[in-house]
């Protein structure tokens, strides 16, 4: 069975969704469960219902839009992503995966194709974590990583809980979290990195996701006057932080495989002043690797470097690991389905591991899962400049369509 999606219609849908919550420089701001996010959800529901889909909403606001199959007693094959964005996010991150699923449904509807299994388009709540931390919390609740109560109790900066925001926007559903069970799940996404573009490849067949560990770190020394205090007598917290960052960066750059990732994304000096030696510094450390054992070793290296600061700089250290996501290997059968669909398009492609977390990471804990990547310009994402070409969007949607059809037409026992 072969059908062709309408790339122009997909692009028009992407641009129509981008008109909800636009930002000054061509991006989008639809924070989770704001009125902008709710408006995007309502538009999607309207589009899906026009092609015969039915909506169910679970208790953490995940949307499940079903296209019936010949055997509705079978678990559905699903696709989807998220509609929420970063505060100054782009028009494709998450949104492409949702609207490509819509385009598949529209294409099958026009062609009169009914799959053996039902199909499900899923919109996961609060993937970004920009309004309610942590990220991917609602897909995590679906997968049993977080409890329903924990998820609903997440608060934004104004003290509003996720549960209260669901009520306010009308997306507090009744379906138990964890339903429906999925036969398999596919997520189409922009790469959010430069590899595909740099290598001239059109599709990434995603085999898994890096392991990630986040740390909050405080270094405490002694504030003192910059002039009268000799270098040898200083307890400079910022100098200690600089040493730590330099050592971790050097370790990562020495990895010839390129698989080690070290990032210090936040750095704050307590009461900064031009002529005062910094007495306290707070920073975040993000460690990532594609191998769990190597990630353990990377964390051990971080701990050794941290311990060495006490002797070298006379600072006290306080470190807390606030989040850990293990290395994820996607399902071999789903990967093979994406690979076959990609080969059929006759385009350059590669197998790759995702460097970023996605809802598919959570879903993979409870259902066979894989992902499809397309290039994004300059590898930029979480940014108003985020861009993917209409041709790549259409190609990704076509690969998604073929993979969904293959899996949805499998019998109950195959």
Judgement on whether residues 103 and 128 belong to the same structural domain of the protein: yes
- Does any domain span residue 352? yes
**DSSP-derived secondary structure letter, 235:** B
Segment 112-126 mean pLDDT: 98
| Domain end marker among 325, 346, 375 | 325
Contact 149, 132 (CB under 8 A): no
Judgement on whether residues 25 and 168 belong to the same structural domain of the protein: yes
For the cut 50, the answer to whether the pLDDT of residue 271 exceeds it is: yes
| Domain end marker among 325, 360, 378 | 325
Which CATH number characterizes residue 335's domain?
Answer: 3.40.630.10
List, in order, residues 6 or more apart from 193 with CB less than 8 Å away: 355, 356, 379, 381
pLDDT in tens, 75-99: 999 999 999 999 999 999 999 999 9
- Give me the pLDDT at residue 337, please: 98
Task: Classify burial at 308, counting beta carbons within 10 Å of its beta carbon; exposed 0-12, middle 13-18, buried 19 or more.
Answer: middle
- Does any domain span residue 183? yes
Angle between helices 35-49 and 95-111 (to 10 degrees): 10
Range of the domain at 41: 7-210+327-408
For the cut 50, the answer to whether the pLDDT of residue 413 exceeds it is: no
Judgement on whether residues 304 and 383 belong to the same structural domain of the protein: no
Judgement on whether residues 158 and 240 belong to the same structural domain of the protein: no
Is 64 in a helix, a strand, or coil? strand
**What span, in angstroms and rounded, lies between the C-alpha atoms of 267 and 219?**
11
Contact 97, 91 (CB under 8 A): no
Phi, psi of 345 (to 5 degrees): -85, -15
Is the torsion defined by CA of 13, 122, 151, 191 positive or negative?
A: negative
- Does any domain span residue 103? yes
Segment 316-344 mean pLDDT: 95
Judgement on whether residues 25 and 122 belong to the same structural domain of the protein: yes
- Give me the pLDDT at residue 282, please: 98
For the cut 50, the answer to whether the pLDDT of residue 248 exceeds it is: yes
Contact 26, 14 (CB under 8 A): no
For the cut 80, the answer to whether the pLDDT of residue 1 exceeds it is: no
- Does any domain span residue 1? no
Judgement on whether residues 338 and 375 belong to the same structural domain of the protein: yes
Judgement on whether residues 200 and 275 belong to the same structural domain of the protein: no
Average pLDDT, the chain: 96
Other Cβ atoms less than 10 A from the Cβ of 358: the count is: 27
Judgement on whether residues 374 and 393 belong to the same structural domain of the protein: yes
- Does any domain span residue 413? no
Longest dimension (CA), the chain: 82
Q: SS3 breakdown of the chain: % helix, strand, coil, rounded to 5?
A: 35, 25, 40
- Give me the pLDDT at residue 357, please: 84
pLDDT in tens, 153-186: 999 999 999 999 999 999 999 999 999 999 999 9
Judgement on whether residues 72 and 199 belong to the same structural domain of the protein: yes
Judgement on whether residues 134 and 278 belong to the same structural domain of the protein: no
**What span, in angstroms and rounded, lies between the C-alpha atoms of 155 and 7?**
39
Judgement on whether residues 372 and 228 belong to the same structural domain of the protein: no
Other Cβ atoms less than 10 A from the Cβ of 408: the count is: 26
| Domain end marker among 284, 307, 325 | 325
- pLDDT over 90 percentage in the chain: 96
- Give me the pLDDT at residue 169, please: 98
- Does any domain span residue 153? yes
**What span, in angstroms and rounded, lies between the C-alpha atoms of 241 and 263?**
13
Task: Classify burial at 17, counting beta carbons within 10 Å of its beta carbon; exposed 0-12, middle 13-18, buried 19 or more.
Answer: buried
Which CATH number characterizes residue 225's domain?
Answer: 3.30.70.360
List, in order, residues 6 or more apart from 25 with CB less than 8 Å away: 88, 384, 385
**What span, in angstroms and rounded, lies between the C-alpha atoms of 244 and 283?**
11
- Does any domain span residue 414? no
Q: Per the structure, how many domains does the chain have?
A: 2
Structure tokens at 36: 């902008």
pLDDT in tens, 2-52: 799 999 999 999 999 999 999 999 999 999 999 999 999 999 999 999 999
Judgement on whether residues 160 and 221 belong to the same structural domain of the protein: no
- Give me the pLDDT at residue 412, please: 52
pLDDT level of residue 356 (50, 70, 90 thresholds)? confident
């Amino acid at each position: 069975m072969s059908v062709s999606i309408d790339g122009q219609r997909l692009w028009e849908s992407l641009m129509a969704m981008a008109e909800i919550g636009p930002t000054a420089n061509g991006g989008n701001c639809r924070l989770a469960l704001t009125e902008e996010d709710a408006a995007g959800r309502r538009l999607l529901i309207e589009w899906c219902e026009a092609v015969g889909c039915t909506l169910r909403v679970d208790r953490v606001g995940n949307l499940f839009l079903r296209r019936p199959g010949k055997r509705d007693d079978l678990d559905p094959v699903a696709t989807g992503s998220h509609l929420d964005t970063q505060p100054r996010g782009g028009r494709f991150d998450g949104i492409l995966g949702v609207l490509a699923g819509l385009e598949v449904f529209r294409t099958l509807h026009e062609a009169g194709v009914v799959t053996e299994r039902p199909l499900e388009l899923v919109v996961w709540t609060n993937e970004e974590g920009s309004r309610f931390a942590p990220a991917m919390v609602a897909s995590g609740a679906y997968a049993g990583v977080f409890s329903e109560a924990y998820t609903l109790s997440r608060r934004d900066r104004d003290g509003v809980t996720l549960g209260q925001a669901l009520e306010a926007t009308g997306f507090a559903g009744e379906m138990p979290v964890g339903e429906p069970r999925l036969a398999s799940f596919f997520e189409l996404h922009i790469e959010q990195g430069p590899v595909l573009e740099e290598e001239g490849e059109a599709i990434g067949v995603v085999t898994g996701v890096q392991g990630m560990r986040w740390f909050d770190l405080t270094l405490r020394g002694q504030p003192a006057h910059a002039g009268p205090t000799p270098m040898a007598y200083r307890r400079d917290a910022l100098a200690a932080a600089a040493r730590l960052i330099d050592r971790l960066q050097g370790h990562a750059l020495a990895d010839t495989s390129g698989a080690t990732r070290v990032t210090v994304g936040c750095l704050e000096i307590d009461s900064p002043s031009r002529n005062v030696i910094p007495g306290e510094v707070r920073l975040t450390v993000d460690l990532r690797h594609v191998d769990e054992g190597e990630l353990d070793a990377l964390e051990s290296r971080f701990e050794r470097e941290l311990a060495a600061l006490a002797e070298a700089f006379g600072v006290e250290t306080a470190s807390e690991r606030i989040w850990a996501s293990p290395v994820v290997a996607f399902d071999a059968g789903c990967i093979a389905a994406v690979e076959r669909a990609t080969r059929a398009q006759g385009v350059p492609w590669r197998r790759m591991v995702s460097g970023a977390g996605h809802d598919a990471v959570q879903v993979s804990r409870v259902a066979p899962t894989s992902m499809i990547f397309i290039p994004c310009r300059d590898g930029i994402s979480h940014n108003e400049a985020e861009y993917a070409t209409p041709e790549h969007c259409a190609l990704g949607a076509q690969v998604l369509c073929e993979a969904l059809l293959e899996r949805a037409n499998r019998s109950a026992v195959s």
